[in-house]
Amino acid sequence: MSKPVEPNKPLVTHIYTADPSAHVFEGKIYIYPSHDIDHDGPSNDNGDQYAMEDYHVLSLDDFDSPCVDHGRVLHVRDVPWASKQMWAPDAAYKNGTYYLYFPARDHDGIFRIGVATGSSPAGPFKPQPHYIPGSFSIDPAVLVDEDGRAYMYFGGLWGGQLEKWQTGTFNPDAKGPAPHEPALGPRFAELTDDMLAFKAPPREISIVDEDGRPILAGDEERRYFEGPWVHKYNGYYYLSYSTGTTHSIVYAMSKKPEGPFVFKGKILTPVIGWTTHHSIVEFRGKWYLFYHDASLSGGVDHLRCVKYTELHYNDDGTIRTIDPYG
């Protein structure tokens, strides 16, 4: 008989998983991770080591239950516009439909964001024939607000190509801002009512310090790198993200879904492996952080495993820092 999952232990060990997006659907926790595969390709800042080609869906009845793998729900060969690298996905529910949002390279090698639909949170999902018009970069995260409006947050540096889009069109030779200039922020777009397109062109989110000054590109302890996630708690929107080179999950707060967001601090200290990517979800009155590390593979950066731990707020709404190995 399968054992219940334990905090800070891999949810599954029969496959490598990463980039978990967790949601409560139909009274259960559903996790939408990327699916790492082993290969002999190169490892570089372009992210070629992350050669994922399909998605599985995981679920938990509760934290006293084993984690169920519902199997493959979408493969890159099913997506007409995509060529490779099915990176970190997310899911949402609206209109009686489940939506799976995912990045992949198109046939020109440019990252775009696609959407697939299904009638069950466990999949399978049928992709739309084209990527979302006006989409680019990676790491889509979708928030369906209490009023029914839905917002997508996305973007990642380096392999995620965010710095290539500073002019609004793709420039393969573009560099990021200088260290003394404001850092690039994630992108934000409200979704149309059918959840399949943007209502308007994406715009950049501003992340500022307590005095309203932009976080600078050289501030690698605080600046945005990739992996945005937005959740709500006590009337505030919390934008959390990976700092990339300094390997932390940090967060900022705002009263508006589009920001600006005021930087507050660190949620998760560095894990085994280079990347860190997470989600935050409430389940039965408690809050949980889902994340990954490379412990299952002994530190091989592109062979990761999804984990979870409980998350706690302070009385002022700030989040207590978590040491995953403490």
Catalytic residue from among 6, 226, 258, 282: 226
Mean pLDDT score, 264-271: 98
32 has pLDDT over 80: yes
pLDDT in tens, 8-21: 999 999 999 999 99
pLDDT tens-digit map of 235-253? 999 999 999 999 999 999 9
Confidence of residue 47 (pLDDT cuts 50, 70, 90): confident
Active site residue 64: no
On the question of pLDDT at 1 being above 60, the answer is no
- What pLDDT, on the 0 to 100 scale, is given for residue 45? 80
Tell me the pLDDT tens digit for each residue of 186-217. 999 999 999 999 999 999 999 999 999 999 99
Q: Looking at the domain assignment, is residue 111 inside a domain?
A: yes
Structural domain of 285: 16-204+278-311
DSSP 222: T
Q: Which residues contact 151 (CB under 8 A, 6 or more apart)?
A: 142, 143, 145, 188, 189, 190, 191, 230, 257, 258
Indicate whether 79 pLDDT > 90.
Answer: yes
**Residues 253-281: what's their mean pLDDT?**
98
Count of beta carbons in the 10 Å neighbourhood of residue 202: 23
pLDDT in tens, 130-179: 999 999 999 999 999 999 999 999 999 999 999 999 999 999 999 999 99
Residue type (1 letter), 297: S
Domain count, the chain: 1
The CATH number assigned to the domain holding 79 equals 2.115.10.20
Match 């046939």 to its residue by tokens.
107
pLDDT exceeding 90 applies to what percent of the chain? 94
Nearest to 160 by CA among 276, 31, 45: 45
257 found inside a domain: no
b/e map 226-238, b = 16+ CB within 10 Å = bbbbbbeeeeebb
Active site residue 19: yes
Exactly one of 19, 139, 204, 293 is catalytic; name it. Answer: 19
pLDDT band (50, 70, 90) for residue 39: confident
**What is the rounded average pLDDT for all residues in the chain?**
97
pLDDT reported for residue 51? 87
Note the pLDDT of residue 48.
85
Spatial separation of the C-alpha atoms in residues 21 and 141, rounded to whole Å: 8
